[in-house]
Amino acid sequence: MMPTMTARTTTARRRARGTAALAVAVVLATTSCSGDDDSGGGEEPTASPSASSAPAPAEPTAPATNARIGQVEGTRISRTTRETLLRQVVPIVDAWFDGAYVGGTWPRRTVGDAFAGFTAGARRDVRRDLKVMTNVDIGERITAVTVRRRAVALDVLAVRRKAAAVTARVSLTFTTTGEVARTETVQGRLFLTKGGGRGWKVFGYDVSAGEAGQGRTR
């Protein structure tokens, strides 16, 4: 189970919760607190963690996103469905990681298309959580970003062998240089749904971000 991270304004770690996430917290809670095996048993195990096809533009040798399927609740899903989910959902997380925290050139204060994979409601929520969901508050005081680790596990709620909802458990660690020189971490969950023929979209989130360990505030 991923530990609860408490927001404390006297430290560098801040927490953001998109209001849309609260509506499905009970339904999705089991997916983010369980193990990594298919609940139905007998399903083929997921292959070794796959890397996202989306490049990480922070630097040529930056690590790719370590992506895998986590817990599957409800009905079983096929290997093909698992692979499709990774192919469709991980690029949404990568776009957020890159646009909000580690991609592009520095210093800067823009986030590009970081939230293109978010619903309109989630994007409205993000506007009040920019200090957590992006690096905009320190972006003009850093000269480079080096990615140390980026990972995502997709917990799936399946109905009739089809994915109905996904919780993406995310973890990003990177080091900044410049006026603000430190190691930062981003951890939490993105809640995704699929509907209206528009593909998977993030409609809510529960994310903390800030300096690794305890230390200075942003």
Tens of pLDDT, residues 5-32: 333 222 344 566 665 444 454 344 444 4
Tens of pLDDT, residues 51-110: 444 444 444 457 899 999 999 999 999 999 999 999 999 999 999 999 999 999 999 989
Q: Is the CB of residue 153 less than 8 Å from the CB of residue 188?
A: no
Please list the residues that pair with 17 across neighbouring strands: 206
Report the range of poorest mean pLDDT among 123-137, 140-154, 203-217. Answer: 203-217
Tens of pLDDT, residues 118-144: 999 999 999 999 999 999 999 999 999
Per-position DSSP letters for 138-167, written without gaps between them:
TGGGEEEEEEEEEEEEEEEEEETTEEEEEE
Question: 131 or 35: which carries more pLDDT confidence?
Answer: 131
Q: How far is CA 159 from CA 7, 32, 44, 74, 77, in A?
A: 35, 17, 18, 6, 9
Strand boundaries in the chain, DSSP class E:
14-17, 50-51, 66-74, 142-159, 162-178, 182-194, 200-211
Q: Is the CB of residue 206 less than 8 Å from the CB of residue 17?
A: yes
Please state, in angstroms and rounded to a whole number, the distance separating the CA atoms of residues 159 and 212.
38
- pLDDT of residue 155 exceeding 80, the answer is yes
Q: What is the pLDDT of residue 15?
A: 62
Nearest-CA neighbor of 104 among 53, 41, 58, 61? 58
Q: What is the pLDDT of residue 61?
A: 54
CB atoms under 10 Å from CB of 136, counted, come to 14
In the CATH hierarchy, which top-level class contains the domain 66-211? alpha beta
- pLDDT of residue 185 exceeding 80, the answer is yes
Q: How far is CA 54 from CA 64, 113, 155, in A?
A: 8, 14, 20
Please state, in angstroms and rounded to a whole number, the distance separating the CA atoms of residues 102 and 68.
21
